[in-house]
Amino acid sequence: MGENIKLLANNKKAYYEYFIEDKYEAGIALAGTEVKSLRGGKCSIKESFIKIENNEMFIYGMHISPYEKGNIFNKDPLRVRKLLLHKFQINKISGQLAQKGYTLVPLQVYFKGHLVKLEIGLARGKKLYDKRQDIAKKDMRRETEREFKVKNLN
């Protein structure tokens, strides 16, 4: 039960831009020097996206900095990486993607034990008024927390 989870990269913008309908956990096929670089925390998924091709899932634009001591074994930092999911999960996700307005978004990269995992979300895009509502809710929550804090200090 006590899984050791260490967060490496988080995509906060995804929660602002999309409604996250479903979340899935996928493994990533990586080279050894990429894993060593990840242990140093050098990863970014801000501009990455996920595609399904030939019943396989790939992540594009995920940046993993080259390992300093990796010399000739280092891979391209922006190379396409395969995501490891079960066939039935990929079929389920591709069926949901066929619906209008859905896309796959990487949410976070983390170590689960000694394995590198990627949390992906099945997402639907937000309109401008949805984003304004989220900002208003966040402001109201922040205001109530501030009032609660002031009441408890007195």
- Pick the more confident residue, 8 or 73: 8
Per the structure block, which two tokens stand in for 86? Answer: 């079960």
SS3 11: coil
Task: Say whether pLDDT at 40 is over 60.
Answer: yes
Supply the CATH number for residue 117's domain: 2.40.280.10
Residue 135 in domain? no
pTM for the complete prediction? 0.74
Give the tokens for residue 19. Answer: 């409604």
Residue 142 lies in a domain: no
* Distance, CA of 134 to chain centre: 20
Model pLDDT, residue 1: 45
The confidence score (pLDDT) of residue 73 equals 66
With respect to residue 21, please indicate whether it lies within any of the assigned structural domains: yes
Write the pLDDT tens digit of every residue in 13-31: 888 888 888 899 999 988 7
139 within domain boundaries = no
Q: How far is Cα 58 from Cα 83, in angstroms, rounded to an integer?
A: 5
Instruction: Tell whether 41 is covered by a domain.
Output: yes
DSSP assignment of 37-95, as one string? HHHTT-EE-TT-EEEEETTEEEEES-EEPPPTT-GGGPPPTT--EEEE--HHHHHHHHH
Tell me the C-alpha distance between 38 and 36, whole Å.
5
Q: Answer whether residue 103 is part of any domain.
A: yes
Measured torsion, CA atoms of residues 137, 143, 149, 151, in degrees rounded to the nearest 10? -120
Residue 16's domain comprises 5-125
For residue 81, being part of any structural domain is answered with yes
What is the overall mean pLDDT for the chain? 83
On the question of pLDDT at 70 being above 70, the answer is: no
pLDDT at 86: 92
Structure confidence by residue, pLDDT tens digits, 104-130: 889 998 988 888 889 998 888 777 777
Count of domains for the chain: 1
Phi, psi of 113 (to 5 degrees): 70, -120
Would you call 3 exposed, middle or buried from its count of C-beta atoms within 10 A (0-12, 13-18, 19+)?
exposed
